Structure 1
Amino acid sequence: MSRTETIHALENNYFDLIIIGGGITGAGIALDAVLRGLKVGLVEQSDFASGTSSKSTKLIHGGLRYLKQFEFGLVREVGKERAILHKLATHLVRPEKMLLPLTKDGNYGKIIASVGLMVYDVLADVEKADQRRMLTPEETLDLEPLLTADKIEGGGIYSEYQTDDFRLVIELLKAAEKEGATILNYASCTGFLKKGGKIAGLTVMDEIESKEFSIYSDYVINAAGPWSDLVRKFQEEVSGKKLHLTKGVHLVVPFEKMPIKQSIYFDVPDGRMMFAIPRNNVTYIGTTDTTYKQNLKDIKTNLDDVHYLIDAVNHYFPNLTLKPEDVVSSWVGVRPLIEEEGKSASEISRKDEIFISDQGLITIAGGKLTGYRKMAKRAMETLLEIRADKTGKSIPKCKTKKYKLPGNSFKSQKEVETYKEELSQKYPDIAVREIAYMVDLYGNQSEEILKATTSGTSLMESEISFCIEKEWVQHLSDFYIQRNGRLFFDIEGVRSSLEAVASTMQQKLGWTDSQRQQEVVDLNEKIKDATIFT
């Protein structure tokens, strides 16, 4: 369906549910709702996953840190969800061993770490082969020579999963659209329609054509993440519980500047913990956790953020001596936590909560990437209980637990690796690393992209065509950030391909020369934001 057809469908149909927000929560709700038989529409003010949902640590993790806060229920829930997500998106949710070094005066002593990781395995329902293994100081140093011997008292290896958060959102939305949902990006909610004092839809601004239109529905769910309170203000003054926004920054450095042998979860001087994760030719580190009260339209990594992260790494790995100029890229997201009086940003619970206004707006906020499916289920069951009270209709069951996402025809990571090998043999002219990159992002959809290269089209051109035709791409930043993450992990590749990609997108999307030039200017501004800090 074209963008024009999508807008026509949103304007000319009556929906059971309209969702505001195209991040992980909104996408999860859309799939849950449409699989339960509801007629669903979703609008997103910018690109899908362009907010917090593309700015996480990119881990589907079991929440080891929450054990220290005695949030056992949260650990159990996200741990079980992690195992489910690995089955739903096997190519996107990839096994990752995490090293937890144990140091003098660190967050975890030997006994606490051993018991904690054991409890973590039980609560998170970790398979036996992936359960924790405790290490001697010598074994820990063998695994990670960058650690300094005088600090290390031992270590633990435990199981996590790495992901591309933005791809998870896109595949959820594609699945929802396939099942009948009507989905539109660059469409901002500008207000609510009301009937009898209750919300009966919303007014929307098409940010591409600068035209406003209306959508009518029985119910509206506000899943706008950090923008949720701003959406709530369209219909009433926000009172009671509000959002507490916290800023999370990640830095990317060349792998040779931090050549760690596996992912590491380590102590930092202020008592927090930090991740360092190797990925292809880079290592990324994060994250910060500071209260954020500034403009949501201008979220940037600043020099204080950079110094905090680099100083923490240098303190733990004194032989590295990282400098701000070593940073090749960065990303920053804002977490929509629920305000808890007297608690610091790091102490606030990551649990989600649901608010229902007097006018009927259902808002869901808080939560974690790993728990998106359960958040969606809670939001839907809240809505369906309200509907049942009004209409007497029964509550259909949630069907997302076994619904495999697009691109996933795999039963195990071994099958993913076998598929990569098969494609490498079938397309010998394409570099093995490029095929691996494709499969990690697109799964078995990769072959559709690779096939197009046999007609003389470059791999990049084929990928662009796929993302425009199948994944709602409207701008250069959509492609380079929310579809493949190149701006984070291959920024030199972005710089070198930018003009060619802009020309291809101009042809595909019908841009004028001035539009193409503006797209290049806008993306260069995003490159600047990711690489220059003040």
Structure 2
Amino acid sequence: MLPEHWLVKGRTEALHHLADKEWDIIIIGGGISGAGLLFEASRRGYRALLLEKNDFASGSSSQSSKLVHGGIRYLATGQLSLTRNAVQAREHLCQQLPGLVEHLPLVMPHYRNHLPGRFKFRALMWLYDLLAGKKYHKGLSAADIQKAAPSLRSQQCYGATQFKDAITDDARLTLRVLLEAAQYGGKAFNYCKVDRIQLLESGNQSGGFQIDISPEDHPMLSLSARQVIHATGAWTQSPRAHPSDPHDDPVKIRPLRGSHLLFSQKRLPLEKGVCLVHPDDSRLMFALPWLGHSLVGTTDLDHKEHMDEPIRMQQQEQDYLFKAINHYFPASKLTPKDCLSVWSGVRPVLSEPDSNPEHKAPSDERREHKLWWQDGQLYLCGGKLTTFQKMAEDAIDQLTFRPQTPVAKPWPDLGANSHNQGEFLLIPEALHQMYGADVLPLNKMIPAEQKVAATPYYKAELHWALAHLAVKHLDDLLLRRTRIGLLYADGGTSMKDELKTLCQKYMHWDDTTFEDEWLRYQQTYRNLYQQPDYK
């Protein structure tokens, strides 16, 4: 059952009634961490509401490296607990969401007189697989490597090690978790900015909170909740220290930017993912097949600009990424002109409060999540996309009150499909995996046959997203509900007339509104996703 308030006609009425309900929990932040919190709270029986000031997954949760991984770098630095949790979470997600989170073979080439050496790396992979409970790694010959990545540098390459992690569409994963939360009564609204949070007093104890919000399309509302949980990632404010509290262990948010490049498979053909050890600093990078294209990333730099400013790739990052590409794929002769799109995300990494960022390299920071209380509110920050379920469980366990009607439902098998005959056979398998039980009504809206040119998407998905998936703006549709805008060098300009017809049908936009939306989308695309033309 889809959320009725995600429909264009249902949102206004649903917003109007938000203030009529006494919420147990209000979650601020609509990325993967907030989505996990909403699901975990709802499945336990809490009356939970999520508010996101922009679109769902519009921050780092749509601009990651797309890997669902244990983190071989974390294992190499001795972070066994983090790696174990992440590897087990990876396996669980691949079982829950086949098609949305999928195992991906990765190849680590071994070159003479360069790290990592074959024997040491395979010893590391034995431990990696042990934590996963299944042996995935194996040796590859030089011929095998050329098949996996035809343009990979072959000089002095004497073999490779293949292992497995997983890959996803991070924005789609966030949306799927929000949809699953709705099955347990969780509510999520995008474009609802929280303006003020006031702690209410009841005698000597907290009486909950009053939360004033400004929806984009509705007058200001005042809501009440017993608890507020912040899951705003890199936008989280570092906690204030309380030296008098012996149990206080404050942290400092250290935003770290990671940038990525996307190429066509024709220009950079990849059958499997390839690990790249950067020739300058030996940082681990990846070249990955994703949505029928090839993704290369990532950088790891302190993001020193204000978080309200557009997060975009810088000249030094472009140079850094292309140096690695041209080192490992010299035959491809790639230049910035070959790049279809770019994106940069900011990781909410937690650093010790006394540490000086200049004394510790970004890649040396630990990636664990942390919870803390401040002004009666709970904050969740740090961690990895892979471990969002564990992060949510740890956070909800912190609450000191129980729901009125507790429900201890397990995480469901989100990817279960029992259909194998009749009407289902007419629908592409990719849509079964991505949409689950919604695939039949999607197919009835428009038969899922015709694809959007040069993309893995079906035109039916555009209709479905506009009708049912809380689209408010054109960039929601082209950059997050689908990734069509990333897969065209022009951002999808060739589809403008078709998009206008669809938006007028489902969003009821007139010509002026569509042109305003198109201008907004073009500006967003140029600022954040178009290859910069550095002089």
Structure-1-length-normalised TM-score: 0.87
- Distance in 1 (alpha carbons) for counterparts of 2:168 and 2:286: 14
**CA distance 1:505–1:437, change in 2 (3 Å):** farther
- Distance in 2 (alpha carbons) for counterparts of 1:32 and 1:493: 36
Shift of 1:399: 3.9
Tell me, yes or no, if the aligned pair for 1:200 and 1:219 is still in contact at 8 Å: yes
1:306-332 Cα offsets, whole Å, 9 max, x none, are: 221111111122222211111111111
Tell me, yes or no, if the aligned pair for 1:356 and 1:362 is still in contact at 8 Å: yes
Question: In the alignment, which residue of structure 1 is the partner of 2:512?
Answer: 514
Q: Which amino acid aligns with 1:60?
A: V
Three-state SS of the structure 1 residue aligned to 2:334 is: coil
Q: Which amino acid aligns with 1:364?
A: L
**CA distance 1:217–1:527, change in 2 (3 Å):** same
**Is 1:244 aligned to residue 242 of structure 2?**
no
Three-state SS of the structure 1 residue aligned to 2:58 is: coil
Corresponding residue to 2:417 among 387, 397, 410: 410
Q: How does 1:284-433 map to 2 (within 5 A)?
A: 284-297=295-308, 298-340=310-352, 341=355, 342-357=359-374, 359-383=375-399, 386-387=400-401, 399-401=409-411, 403-405=412-414, 408-410=415-417, 426=426
**Is 1:110 aligned to residue 121 of structure 2?**
no
Three-state SS of the structure 1 residue aligned to 2:70 is: coil
Q: Which amino acid aligns with 2:386?
A: T
Shift of 1:409: 2.8
**CA distance 1:409–1:491, change in 2 (3 Å):** farther
Corresponding residue to 1:208 among 200, 217, 227: 217
Question: In the alignment, which residue of structure 2 is the partner of 1:149?
Answer: 154
1:217-276 Cα offsets, whole Å, 9 max, x none, are: 00000001111218x79xxxx994221001111101121221233211121121101111
- Distance in 2 (alpha carbons) for counterparts of 1:156 and 1:220: 46
Tell me, yes or no, if the aligned pair for 2:258 and 2:345 is still in contact at 8 Å: yes
Three-state SS of the structure 1 residue aligned to 2:82 is: helix
- Distance in 2 (alpha carbons) for counterparts of 1:134 and 1:263: 15
Question: In the alignment, which residue of structure 1 is the partner of 2:293?
Answer: 282
- Distance in 1 (alpha carbons) for counterparts of 2:404 and 2:25: 16
Shift of 1:100: 1.0
Tell me, yes or no, if the aligned pair for 1:42 and 1:183 is still in contact at 8 Å: yes
Corresponding residue to 1:445 among 435, 438, 441: 438
Tell me, yes or no, if the aligned pair for 2:448 and 2:459 is still in contact at 8 Å: no
**Is 1:531 aligned to residue 530 of structure 2?**
yes
Q: Say which is worse superposed, 35-44 or 145-154, in terms of deviation.
A: 145-154
- Distance in 1 (alpha carbons) for counterparts of 2:196 and 2:371: 20
1:26-63 Cα offsets, whole Å, 9 max, x none, are: 10110110111111111001010111111111121121
Q: Say which is worse superposed, 342-351 or 361-370, in terms of deviation.
A: 342-351
Question: In the alignment, which residue of structure 2 is the partner of 1:430?
Answer: none
**Is 1:469 aligned to residue 467 of structure 2?**
yes
- Distance in 2 (alpha carbons) for counterparts of 1:74 and 1:87: 20
Q: Which amino acid aligns with 2:275?
A: Y
What 5-or-longer segments of structure 1 have no aligned partner? 428-434
What 5-or-longer segments of structure 2 have no aligned partner? 5-9, 241-247, 453-457
**Is 1:256 aligned to residue 227 of structure 2?**
no
**CA distance 1:328–1:456, change in 2 (3 Å):** closer
- Distance in 1 (alpha carbons) for counterparts of 2:409 and 2:153: 49
Q: How does 1:71-82 map to 2 (within 5 A)?
A: 71-82=79-90
What count of residue pairs does the alignment treat as equivalent? 501
Q: Which amino acid aligns with 1:255?
A: Q
Q: Which amino acid aligns with 1:67?
A: L
Which is richer in helix?
A: 1
1:473-527 Cα offsets, whole Å, 9 max, x none, are: 1111111111111222345572221332133213322334322111101111233
- Distance in 1 (alpha carbons) for counterparts of 2:405 and 2:117: 48
Q: How does 1:488-503 map to 2 (within 5 A)?
A: 488-491=486-489, 494-503=492-501
**Coordinate RMSD, CA, aligned:** 2.9
